[in-house]
Amino acid sequence: MAAKKDIRQLSLADLQLFFEEINQPAFRAKQVYQWLWQKSSLQFEAMTNLPIAVRASLEAHFDIPALSIHYRQDSKDGTVKLRFELCDGNKVEGVLIPVPADKRMTACISSQVGCSLSCAFCATGFLKRERNLFAHEIYDQVVQINTIAQEKFAMPLTNIVFMGMGEPLLNYKNVLQGINKITDEIGLGMASRRITVSTAGIAKMINQLADDEVKFNLALSLHAASDVKRNEIMPINQHNSLQALTNALKHFKEKNKRSNLTYEYILLNEFNDTEQDALDLVKWVRKVPAKINIIEYNKVEGTIFEKAGNQRLHHFINTLVKNDLTVTVRKSRGEDIDAACGQLANKV
């Protein structure tokens, strides 16, 4: 007997073709699609508006493989880190970042098993990239984290950030398909403006985002505004220079006027936190204006970097503010469970 297919790899048109082949009306396809992507059903028997014979046929032809929670850690600040096990045994991590006072629940999700970019300050960069996540594995992380947000805080997710394990733009097709399932009216129906994709900076794919006129937000993990320093901590910059990124981001802003652009900048003590570094950042931002998120560094075992002290942090920020830049400082969350920015590495 032929192996069952993963039904969530099928498009709506594929499902319509299947129902034609078993002499069922085409509207059954939309019913199944809604069960899969709107109601997040993982069992054919739960699809109660389908005849029993149709459910049996689906069971005979298809599987609904899904990730599961392998391990959960709860931080003293309310952050929840989840290690998800995929059907092939690989594992990725996702994080719920709650800010109940602001009525904000953010899911930080992964796009790849491991990462190939080897950024010097990031724990995930020490892992080998095993494979890309499928669209349904991206979607499932959101569903699982949303369930925990509602159980623990009685609030649904308000935001999604692709800032977990992996480089989203190196899994372009599946990331966009996953976002489509999350935002589709017969999916989870979440607003695109609530989703941010973070990239280490791949100019070709940023240009592709522009041409595809995506509606979600984009964040560039900048971390240094000179090629010399950026090359040192982010090898991807050797083939995606700051000038190439400038050109790509200008194209993105021209084509995607409703999408927000943010620059992320991790402050590393006595590396990228000097007066000159701040002035380099001012010069960069003026080329392609956007708000800046200053991120406090979270210590990663095996790296040489340290968190910048408060005096250096304040001086750096003051230089930016004096030059009329919009700056936010992102405080670490979940550091006690290795759930903070740059710490995801499948570590208990």
Catalytic residue ranges: 93, 341
CA distances from 282 to 136, 243, 288 (A): 40, 15, 10
Amino acid at 245: L
What's the distance, Cα to Cα, between the start and end of the chain in Å?
A: 41
Question: CA–CA separation, 202 vs 65, rounded Å?
Answer: 31
For 324, the token pair is 């009329």
Strands 112-113 and 131-132: antiparallel
Task: Give me the phi and psi of 92, to 5 degrees please.
Answer: -135, 165
Q: What does residue 317 show for φ and ψ, rounded to 5 degrees?
A: -65, -40
DSSP code, position 268: B
CA-nearest of 250, 164, 165 to 209 is 250
| Nearest C-alpha neighbor of 125 from the set 269, 4, 223 | 223
H or E element in which residue 12 lies:
helix 12-21
Nearest to 343, CA basis, from 313, 303, 311: 303
Look at residue 74 and give its three-state secondary structure: strand
324 CB contacts (<8 Å, ≥6 apart)?
none
